[in-house]
Structure 1
Amino acid sequence: MRLVLASASPARLSVLRAAGADPAVEVSDVDEDALLAAHPDADPARKVTLLAAAKAAAVADRLTGDGVVVGCDSMLLVDGELVGKPHDAETARRRWKAMAGRTGELLTGHAVLRLAGGAVVQEAEGHAGTGVRFAEPTDAELDAYLATGEPLEVAGAFTLDGLGGWFVEGIDGDPSNVIGISLPLLRRLLGAVGVSVVDLWTPRS
């Protein structure tokens, strides 16, 4: 079974590879800001799911043959505000100052499309949410973290599986979801389109 990950995220790819799959990677060209602007009244979970579905659909349109496309999108919900990638150091600094010592919810939308002959024949979607308890980094620690560039291009300006893990006190829920793709949810969505995860495992040497 051909598996295609509609995401440029190395963290998502790493999770899938560690879990036995070896997906091809196809990056979508979805305009995330425009899509969110078109759905201003959608709740946070719906917004990330809409983004995931759009990414999966954009990639599926370019493919031929049989396979499964997985799209994901993650954002952090803090005090009712849904935030994505900060893109610059000052935005990341403001977000860290606001969330330090507090708890947020990392939301990841998932969309799974099954293809036959290049056409979508089955689809499933959903979202996962995981609570994240943030530490309070010192000013020197935060300066050093921002200088690495790591928090600038990740949802919520932090990682669990990288340098940002030093500043996470704990999580409540699925850890793989915080990294960007929920294995438990993905297994259920794959099952909904008739695919068993064991069929995606690659032989180990």
Structure 2
Amino acid sequence: MRLVLASASPARLAVLRAAGTDPLVEVAGVDEDALLAAYPDETPGRKVTLLAEAKATAVAERIAGEHPDALVVGCDSMLLVGGELVGKPGDAGTARRRWQEMAGKTGELLTGHAVLRLAGGTVADRATGDAATAVRFAEPTAEELEAYLGTGEPLHVAGAFTLDGIGGWFVEGIDGDPSNVIGISLPLLRRLLGEVGVSPVELWRDQGDRR
């Protein structure tokens, strides 16, 4: 059974590879802003789950011919801090403002997950859910913040920080699943796989193929 990751995130791919799988990567290309605008009254957890499901669905439709019996996993992460749900900042000015607002505070990293099981080229089963992990942020000095912004890393990640990269210097601690902060919750994914009748051990590479 082919595992397909509907995400361009190298961090999600790294988590899945470290967990013994070798997924095919297909980028969905979903208009996230338009989708969120269509559901203004949904809860934050539901919003990220809708995004994940949209990505998984788009990829499933695209690959069904070549991979008719596949598992498609879609994810989307956003940070809930100060009552605001934010994604990737995109530019240094936005990232700077977000860090100034969240420094010394605690936010919730939310990741929506969607698993679609294809059989014969059609979606035979699906499972969705979201995971939340509390993140306690440090207070970087002005010089540290400018140096971090200069790396470019915070511009392209949810919440303008990483746990597994340079941003880890400015995270005091977390409460919950660390893999969720990186972008894909292995505990939640295991449960969702179970809902569509798959055990993660079925997706592991042969021991001799591990690197």
TM range, smaller chain: over 0.9
1:178 maps onto 2:184 in alignment: no
Q: 2:113 maps to which residue? A: 110
Q: CA deviation at 1:48?
A: 0.2
Q: Tell me the distance in 1 between the aligned counterparts of 2:148 and 2:164.
A: 14
Displacement over 2 Å in runs of 4+: none
Q: Tell me the distance in 1 between the aligned counterparts of 2:22 and 2:107.
A: 31
Q: 1:59 maps to which residue? A: 59
Q: Tell me the distance in 2 between the aligned counterparts of 1:157 and 1:117.
A: 40
Q: CA deviation at 1:118?
A: 1.1
Q: 1:81 maps to which residue? A: 84
Tell me which of 136, 152, 155 is aligned to 1:152.
155
Q: Tell me the distance in 2 between the aligned counterparts of 1:16 and 1:159.
A: 17
Q: Tell me the distance in 1 between the aligned counterparts of 2:26 and 2:9.
A: 11
Q: CA deviation at 1:29?
A: 1.4
Aligned sequence identity (%): 79
Q: Deviations over 1:135-190 (max 9, x none)?
A: 00011110000000000000000000000000000000000000000000000000
Unpaired runs of at least 5, structure 1: none
Q: 2:205 maps to which residue? A: 202
Q: Tell me the distance in 2 between the aligned counterparts of 1:117 and 1:81.
A: 42
Q: Tell me the distance in 2 between the aligned counterparts of 1:71 and 1:91.
A: 26
Q: Tell me the distance in 2 between the aligned counterparts of 1:204 and 1:8.
A: 26
Q: 2:48 maps to which residue? A: 48
Q: Tell me the distance in 1 between the aligned counterparts of 2:47 and 2:38.
A: 10
Q: Which amino acid aligns with 1:44?
A: P
Q: 1:33 maps to which residue? A: 33
Q: Tell me the distance in 1 between the aligned counterparts of 2:40 and 2:105.
A: 26
Q: Which amino acid aligns with 1:36?
A: L
Q: Tell me the distance in 2 between the aligned counterparts of 1:192 and 1:3.
A: 16
Q: 1:139 maps to which residue? A: 142
- Aligned with 1:62: secondary structure? helix
Q: 2:20 maps to which residue? A: 20
Q: 2:102 maps to which residue? A: 99
Q: CA deviation at 1:204?
A: 3.0
Q: Which amino acid aligns with 2:86?
A: V
Q: Tell me the distance in 2 between the aligned counterparts of 1:139 and 1:94.
A: 12
Q: Deviations over 1:91-122 (max 9, x none)?
A: 00000000000000000000000001110000
TM-score if structure 1 supplies the norm length? 0.99
Q: 1:187 maps to which residue? A: 190
Q: Which amino acid aligns with 1:55?
A: K
TM-score if structure 2 supplies the norm length? 0.96
Q: Which amino acid aligns with 2:15?
A: V
Q: Tell me the distance in 2 between the aligned counterparts of 1:70 and 1:186.
A: 9
- Aligned with 2:41: secondary structure? coil
Q: Deviations over 1:111-134 (max 9, x none)?
A: 000001110000000000000000
**Residues matched between the structures, number:** 205
Q: CA deviation at 1:37?
A: 0.5
